[in-house]
Structure 1
Amino acid sequence: MCFGTIQKTIYDSAAAKLPSSQDYRIARDEVAVELPVRVNWGGGWTDTPPHCNERGGAVLNAALKLNGIYPIQIRVKRLEQLHVEFASTDIGASGSVGTVEEIQDCHNPYDSFALHKAALIACGIIPLQGGNLEEICRRLGGGISLSTRVVGIPQGSGLGTSSILSGACVKGLFKFLGRETSEEEIYDIVLNMEQIMSTGGGWQDQVGGLSPGIKFITSMPGIDQKIKVEKVQLSEKMKKELQERFVLVYTGQRRLARNLLRDVVGGYLGGRPESIDALEKMQNLAVLMKFALERENLDAFMDLLNQHWELSKQLDAGSTNTCIEQIFMACEDMIDARFIAGAGGGGFLQMILKKGITKEMLKDRLHEIFQESGVDVWDSTFV
Structure 2
Amino acid sequence: MIKALAPTRIDLAGGTLDMPPLFLFHEFGLTINIAIDLYAEVTLEEVEGEGGDFEFYSKDLDSREQYGSIEEMKNKPKGTLELLTRTVGYFEPKKALRVTTDIHLPKGSGLAGSSALMIALVGALNHHTKRGLSKPEMLTIAKSIETQLIKVPTGFQDYYPALYGSLTFLWLTVRGNKREEPSLKKEFLDELQEKLILVYTGEPHFSGTNNWQIFKDHIDGNKEVIQTMQNIRQTAEKMRKALLAEDIDRFADVLNEDWENRKRLSPGVTTDQIESLITVSKEHGARAARVCGAGGGGCMVVLAKDDPDELKEVLKKNGARILDYRFDYKGLTIEEI
Superposed pair shares fold, TM > 0.5: yes
Pair 1:257–1:244, CA change in 2 (3 A) = closer
- Look up the SS of the partner of 2:99 in the other structure: strand
Aligned residues: 323
Q: Deviations over 1:194-245 (max 9, x none)?
A: 23323532111121222111101122248xxx43211122112211221221
Pairing 1:233-248 to 2, within 5 Å after superposition: 233-248=183-198
- Look up the SS of the partner of 2:290 in the other structure: strand
- Aligned match of 1:263: 213
Tell me the distance in 2 between the aligned counterparts of 1:118 and 1:199.
17
- Aligned match of 1:353: 304
Pairing 1:177-326 to 2, within 5 Å after superposition: 177-197=129-149, 198-221=151-174, 226-257=176-207, 259-326=209-276
- Aligned match of 1:380: 325
- Look up the SS of the partner of 1:91 in the other structure: coil
Pair 1:100–1:58, CA change in 2 (3 A) = same
Aligned-residue offset at 1:102: 3.6
Aligned-residue offset at 1:98: 2.2
Tell me the distance in 2 between the aligned counterparts of 1:195 and 1:366.
35
Pairing 1:1-383 to 2, within 5 Å after superposition: 30-52=1-23, 56-66=28-38, 71-79=39-47, 80-82=49-51, 83-104=53-74, 111-121=79-89, 124-126=90-92, 140=94, 142-151=95-104, 153-197=105-149, 198-221=151-174, 226-257=176-207, 259-332=209-282, 333-354=284-305, 357-368=306-317, 370=318, 373=319, 375-383=320-328
Aligned-residue offset at 1:367: 3.4
- Look up the SS of the partner of 2:133 in the other structure: coil
Provide structure 2 residue ranges, at least 5 long, that are not aligned to the other structure. Answer: 329-337
Tell me the amino acid that sits aligned with residue 189 of structure 2. K
Q: Deviations over 1:309-349 (max 9, x none)?
A: 01100111211121111111112141111111111121111
Tell me the distance in 1 between the aligned counterparts of 2:163 and 2:180.
13
Tell me the amino acid that sits aligned with residue 37 of structure 2. K
Larger Rg: 1
Tell me the distance in 1 between the aligned counterparts of 2:115 and 2:148.
13
Pair 1:51–1:258, CA change in 2 (3 A) = closer
Pair 1:102–1:59, CA change in 2 (3 A) = farther
Paired residues of 1:47 and 1:202 also in contact (CA < 8 A): yes
| RMSD of Structure 2 on Structure 1 (CA) | 2.2
Per the normalisation by structure 2, the TM-score is 0.88
- Look up the SS of the partner of 1:259 in the other structure: helix
Q: Deviations over 1:112-160 (max 9, x none)?
A: 2211122124xx424xxxxxxxxxx6xx3x2222221112x22111000
- Look up the SS of the partner of 2:225 in the other structure: helix
- Look up the SS of the partner of 2:184 in the other structure: coil
- Look up the SS of the partner of 1:148 in the other structure: strand
Paired residues of 1:35 and 1:210 also in contact (CA < 8 A): yes
Pair 1:50–1:104, CA change in 2 (3 A) = farther
Pair 1:231–1:337, CA change in 2 (3 A) = same
Paired residues of 1:264 and 1:315 also in contact (CA < 8 A): yes
Tell me the amino acid that sits aligned with residue 211 of structure 1. Y
Tell me the amino acid that sits aligned with residue 327 of structure 1. L
Tell me the distance in 2 between the aligned counterparts of 1:244 and 1:376.
17
Tell me the amino acid that sits aligned with residue 322 of structure 2. V
Paired residues of 2:316 and 2:322 also in contact (CA < 8 A): no
Aligned-residue offset at 1:257: 4.7
- Look up the SS of the partner of 1:168 in the other structure: helix
Which protein, 1 or 2, shows the higher relative CO under an 8 Å CA cutoff with sep ≥ 6?
2
Tell me the distance in 2 between the aligned counterparts of 1:296 and 1:259.
35
- Look up the SS of the partner of 2:60 in the other structure: helix
Tell me the amino acid that sits aligned with residue 326 of structure 1. S
Paired residues of 1:184 and 1:227 also in contact (CA < 8 A): no
Paired residues of 1:232 and 1:290 also in contact (CA < 8 A): no
Pair 1:233–1:84, CA change in 2 (3 A) = same
- Look up the SS of the partner of 1:195 in the other structure: helix
Tell me the amino acid that sits aligned with residue 283 of structure 1. R
Provide structure 1 residue ranges, at least 5 long, that are not aligned to the other structure. Answer: 1-29, 127-136
Paired residues of 2:210 and 2:295 also in contact (CA < 8 A): no
